[in-house]
Structure 1
Amino acid sequence: MTQLTLDTPLGPCRLTISAADRPRAVLLLGHGAGGGIEAFDLAALARGLPPLGVTVIRHEQPWRVAGRTTVARPNLVDQGWGGALDAVLADFPTLPLWVGGRSAGARGACRGFDKRQAGVVCLSFPLHPPGRPDVSRIGELAGVTGPVLVVQGERDPFGSPQSVREAARAAGGAQPVVVGVPGTHSFSKRADVAEAIVAAVAKFVGG
């Protein structure tokens, strides 16, 4: 595992790279609004995917590098993400780049998606605030013009797997692959859940 620091308009961000020996793909992941790259699902993917041929790069937003916590506004997430995305694309020009993240990081990856990227992996996509299904963020998910995987806790108060499927159908366009796993927004922190998350992502990105 290696680390790289990059400049952004908001200050330095950091990339933590878990490299595959013979990579066939790269997965760039962002963290949630209140957490970091040590989150259960992000850590599980950093351990589990490299042996399957996928290099995992976890992106730390500038405020996390500076030791602060914050409720990340979308414009701040996007400013911290854009430079890292460009750097990873430049460093791995011959490999398909998949992007994604957990919660706010998943939303940012959706907003920043373009034709240079292969698809998006959304972990705990926050479809709506708890108890507010009328405040939907399905537009961010539906706006992705490539393949999308959503791994969602079966009891996630920000939107169940079925809620994501129904909202995506109503929005029209390409439909995401939605996989439900035990737990809420942070998932159940069990070994079998970690294995299920790794298996779903590996199948999606071709690992």
Structure 2
Amino acid sequence: MITDDQIEFLFDGDENAKLTIVLAHGAGAPMDSPFMNEMAGAIADNGWRVARFEFPYMAKRRIDGKKRGPDRGPVLLDFFGEVVRQLGDPNHLIIGGKSMGGRMASMVADELGVAGLVCLGYPFHPPGKPEKLRTDHLLGLKTKALICHGTRDPFGKPDEVAGYGLSDAIKLHWVEDGEHDFKPRKSSGRTQSQNITDASKAISDFANVMVK
């Protein structure tokens, strides 16, 4: 999707950081949802620049207030390519996002030649349908990747993920007692903010390797 229109980005952090981490939203919530705001802020606090954007269907919802389902896959993938084009040198970009956004990033990362990939709660399969895997392209992924994933995420439990045979380029950060949005049970003694902070530190460590 080549467009003359400037994509509206939401930036956090140091504009002179060595890498920009591009975060796409999930299927149902916008780029400035509470989760996205807190995650972007936590990553920025570790010294990185964060860029957020919205896919066309979500941008339309912001204008007219009407809820609509995600655009078709090819539209989302093409739009991610345009995002990278407008942000500049892909060697200085780590792309990713929440759930669907991270999945879309993972499908174009090799093609776009970005420095890395970060997925926040990857939808390995629909909840309750472990047979419907979304992992084929992850088996041969070449781009260095970090997947931050809750241990209680219904989109893929640890014992399931262990058997997927994912590419050696992929590292996993398990979010302790976390659901799909990293929220733990009160009985765990943890908070969602703690889990987001821990994930942001894992992302920062991952990004530091990219610039060495």
Instruction: Tell me the TM-score normalised to structure 1 length.
Output: 0.83
Query: In the alignment, what sits opposite 1:37?
Result: 31
Change in 2 beyond 3 A, CA 1:48/1:117 = same
CA RMSD of aligned residues (A): 2.6
Amino acid at match of 1:126: P
1:186 to 181, 184, 189: 181
2:151 to 139, 144, 154: 154
1:135 aligns with 2:129: no
Cα distance in 1 between the residues matched to 2:158 and 2:72: 24
Query: In the alignment, what sits opposite 1:144?
Result: 141
Alignment of 1:1-207 (within 5 A): 8=3, 13-20=7-14, 22-67=16-61, 68-88=67-87, 90=88, 93=89, 96-114=92-110, 116-167=113-164, 169=165, 171=166, 173-181=167-175, 182-188=177-183, 190-206=192-208
Question: How far has the Cα of 1:99 moved from its partner?
Answer: 0.6
Q: Which runs of 5+ in 2 are unaligned?
A: 62-66, 184-190
Cα distance in 2 between the residues matched to 1:16 and 1:143: 32
Query: In the alignment, what sits opposite 1:3?
Result: none
Instruction: Identify, as 1 or 2, the structure richer in strand.
Output: 1
Instruction: Tell me the TM-score normalised to structure 2 length.
Output: 0.81
**How many residues end up aligned between the 2 structures?**
195
Cα distance in 2 between the residues matched to 1:139 and 1:13: 30
Which 4+ residue blocks in structure 1 deviate beyond 3 angstroms? 6-9
Amino acid at match of 2:104: G
Question: How far has the Cα of 1:112 moved from its partner?
Answer: 1.0
Change in 2 beyond 3 A, CA 1:40/1:177 = farther
Q: Which runs of 5+ in 1 are unaligned?
A: 1-5
